Chains A and B, each alone.
Chain A
């Protein structure tokens, strides 16, 4: 079976005056059709850069230095811009944290939707409007007919994000990349938007890459997780396995730092220190200055992601390499 997405050794750098900064340091993962993956980690870990680079949306000083991205078997990372644009917003859709990244404030919802549909399909305006209406009802927008005539600012935040989801569905993509789609929303609305996204992915067998720092949301929505730290994936595997039995000390720390429910009120586990600035990543394992298990080898050699063939998932940590 061909993978929906196959990311191989992707390296992304930013050309700065002080030299090149490596934001993504060789990441690898695959996604099957209809599979949902969470990309988690702290601010600055490289989650958004990873998401953007898949569809070659890296902005100016940034560039893909090496690696390949295969989408439905095609090497899209080698595509010229024109061809890439065709894939973006057609077979792969992107949803951003801020719906206004997608919506044009001076056009009505209807105009934006009809234009998108007509840019990708040879249909009449009337037919395009029908498609738009259908998609709006699909994301549970009430009185969709009325919404077509409204401007983005006339809608609430949650409604705007649902409109963005409706727009991203217009072309029946097989992959959605959602970068913190509900971070700006209230819990009740977040639950609604995420439940919707999950339902739509299941119904139409769409793949999903969900970028977020919220492990709770990831565990509700995804089947597998990749945990990023300082530009690398340090652990990946089935969501349940990672949430219930994380193996990388960083993942363990992240999960233990969360209030566990039950209202215990005791001290929370805290990971000492903070994630390094990408301009000064420590040698060896980038996590070693914060890791309570750090050994000599951790300061010298960068651990590679590997699996032991028994435990599900992959982990990049010398603790496990030793017992290999």
Chain B
């Protein structure tokens, strides 16, 4: 079976990522009491997330649109500098490295995007797309070694190496996604952030890409952070699942635990809403209200405006992620107090 351990490959500690979207000077100026002042608008995309991604696992990140999944993935890879907090790769802190020192980590950690159309350069052939990062990260390889590697990786992802001279638009969506996975694999990564890699694909093609992702996990011991909104897919391929809401980690659990015995009220609502084949009608937990914006975060528990179990403490105090009797971790006062 899969060779995942409990050893962390990537450690995220108290990660905060805020975006300043105040705009230019003139956009920011406002008049309060007749005096001009400058306002700042901040999107609080990630608010104190701590979690380990274990060697060899597929850790899925789920949650509604805008909850910070992509931001988390990008910050971990160093594509966004964190506002505060730490990222470590194999015990080496990497969030404060110089570009030069970061270079080896840029190779060891790769990203696969949702939209293979946008992420592949339309003017480059598949061969060029695959060779470029390889030459950059492995300058010592000879031309023929690089070419061999291109052919080998293309075979691994199931695209005929004879097509290396073609351009991305000559391939189907599924094939293009294989090519972007191939591009990530070219540099022998250890960790891949896959951000909605199947969302743009048809069901029959999704299965091909998911199989490929699972194959790479098994064959190369790859570790993934898998971002998606498809909870049936998460149930199928994950080792563990992180449930996020408004930039906060609500629950972190083994897949079986989360689907069999969800703890956090938001996880419960989310899982109850999965459309299942062969189920008639709806029995989802209805959430009141609307999702607040990450610009005006609710005080206390970020879920309190929609939670059916909210009380006074929830409105004031941020719940901590704590262990549960079933082995999961969840951040909820009601759970801690034994109210639910």
Contacts and interface: CB of A to CB of B under 8 A. Distances in A.
A binds B: yes
Interface of A: 42-43, 142, 156-159, 186-192, 194-195, 198, 213-217, 219-220, 240, 243-244, 253-255, 257-265, 267-271, 274-275
B281 A220 contact: yes
Interface residues of B, number: 44
Interface string B204-230: 111110110010000000000000010
14 contacts: A158-B290, A188-B270, A188-B287, A190-B273, A216-B275, A219-B279, A220-B276, A244-B278, A258-B207, A259-B232, A259-B236, A263-B256, A271-B204, A274-B174
Interface string B267-304: 00110111111111110101101110000000000000
B231 interface: yes
B202 A263 contact: no
Contacts of A156: 290-291
Q: Which of B204, B206, B210, B284 has the most CB of A within 10 A?
A: B204
Contacts of A271: 204, 207
Given A219-B277, A253-B204, A188 B259 contact: no
B65 interface: yes
A219 B276 CA distance: 8
B20 interface: no
B255 interface: yes
B237 interface: yes
A265 B207 contact: no
B64 interface: yes
Nearest to B256: A263
In the A-B complex, the 4 residue pairs with the smallest Cβ-Cβ separation, listed nearest first, are A216-B275, A259-B236, A191-B273, A268-B207
B152 interface: no
Nearest to B285: A188
Given A219-B278, A263-B256, A274-B174, A258 B232 contact: yes
Contact of A187 (B203, B207, B270, B278): B270
A258 B203 contact: yes
Nearest to B236: A259
Interface string B248-271: 000000011001000000000110
Interface in B42-77: 64-65
Given A190-B273, A219-B278, A270-B208, 17 more contacts: A187-B231, A188-B287, A192-B286, A216-B279, A219-B275, A219-B279, A240-B278, A243-B277, A244-B278, A257-B204, A264-B236, A267-B214, A268-B207, A268-B211, A268-B236, A274-B172, A274-B174
